[in-house]
Amino acid sequence: MSQLVYWLDLAGVIVFALSGVVLACRKRMDPVGMLVLAAVTGIGGGTLRDLVLGVRPVFWVDDPTYLWVIVATVALSLVGFHYIHRLSRGFMPVADAFGLAIFTALGSHKALALGYTGEVATLMGMMTGVAGGMIRDVLARRVPMVLREEIYATAAFAGGVAYVVLYSLGAPTVLTIGASLAATLGLRLAAIYWGLALPVFAWVTIPTRPAEEGRAAAQKAKERVRMIQRQRKRR
């Protein structure tokens, strides 16, 4: 079972690292930028989780295989650079959804294995799943998905709850991981496919008069140009 968890963890690192590479390509970064985005996405969430839980050393320090997996992912991406540019816009959200599901399940698994409560395990699953993507988006100057109205952290929360509930019922680890993956991935992919989003609440109404005045001024300028053109034609 420990081997299953280990290989799933490496798979999650690959998927998240690849999403970082894709974003780096779209932001026209150099190979160093690609490596940085791939690394923070692939191991950022797990690093924060281990630091919060007091795990020493952090998982990738204890096992540098994670670092080599990230380097290999970036190297292969550089070789297939032209193919990455041909990927559709929908690839990155889907790849990110798979990484989110894997890391949420494994984050909850690790917290419970260390003897923490279900509440802590759920939060650690969310942190493992969303933190790496948050750091990636901030470095790429994007608003992180977790801060937008998209169903992202909610999907991670559902996956963490699913894992904790089945674990408390004594279900086998394979079943708990599978249920957590299904809950997170199903909810996230459904949100992507059907465009589902959480409601947005605004306590302050931002005045739109400056924008309206700008549009009115632009319209007047266009009308004036047309009038001048008509006058020239008459001459």
pLDDT attached to residue 203: 64
Four-point Cα dihedral 226, 227, 229, 233, nearest 10: 130
- What tens digit of pLDDT does each residue of 109-149 get? 999 999 999 999 999 999 999 999 999 999 999 988 888 77
Query: Residue 231: pLDDT above 70?
Result: no
Question: Residue 51: is its pLDDT beyond 80?
Answer: yes
Q: Regarding predicted confidence, which is higher, 175 or 91?
A: 175
pLDDT at position 91, please? 84
Confidence check: pLDDT of 206 > 60? no
Greatest extent of the chain over all pairs of C-alpha atoms, in Å: 90
187, 158 Cβ separation under 8 angstroms:
yes
At residue 20, the pLDDT reads 93
**218 confidence band (pLDDT: 50, 70, 90):** confident
Count of H-run helices and E-run strands, the chain:
10, 0
For residue 81, what pLDDT is reported?
77
Q: Give the CA count within 13 Å in the CB-facing half-sphere of 151.
A: 22
The verdict on whether omega for the bond into residue 57 sits within 30 degrees of 0, i.e. cis, is yes
Tell me what the pLDDT averaged over the chain comes to: 89
Stronger pLDDT, 26 or 70, i.e. the higher one: 70
Q: What percent of the chain has pLDDT over 90?
A: 69
Q: What is the pLDDT of residue 143?
A: 87
Confidence band for 45, pLDDT divided at 50, 70 and 90: very high
| C-alpha dihedral sign at 173, 188, 136, 85 | positive
Q: Is the pLDDT of residue 210 over 70?
A: no
CA distance 180 to 157: 10
Q: Which residues, listed in sequence order, are joined to residue 150 by a DSSP beta bridge?
A: 197
Per-residue pLDDT at 160: 97
d(CA 125, CA 115): 14
Does the pLDDT value for residue 14 go beyond 90? yes
Instruction: Yes or no: say if 40 and 67 are a contact pair by the CB < 8 Å rule.
Output: no
pLDDT at position 195 over 90 = no
What's the confidence (pLDDT) of residue 100?
96
Q: What are 63-116's pLDDT values in tens digits?
A: 999 999 999 999 999 888 777 767 777 888 998 999 999 999 999 999 999 999
Q: Kindly report the three-state secondary structure assignment for every residue of 76-108.
A: HHHHCHHHHHCCCCCHHHHHHHHHHHHHHHHHH
Beta bridge partner(s), residue 197: 150
Question: Residue 208: pLDDT band by 50, 70, 90 thresholds?
Answer: low
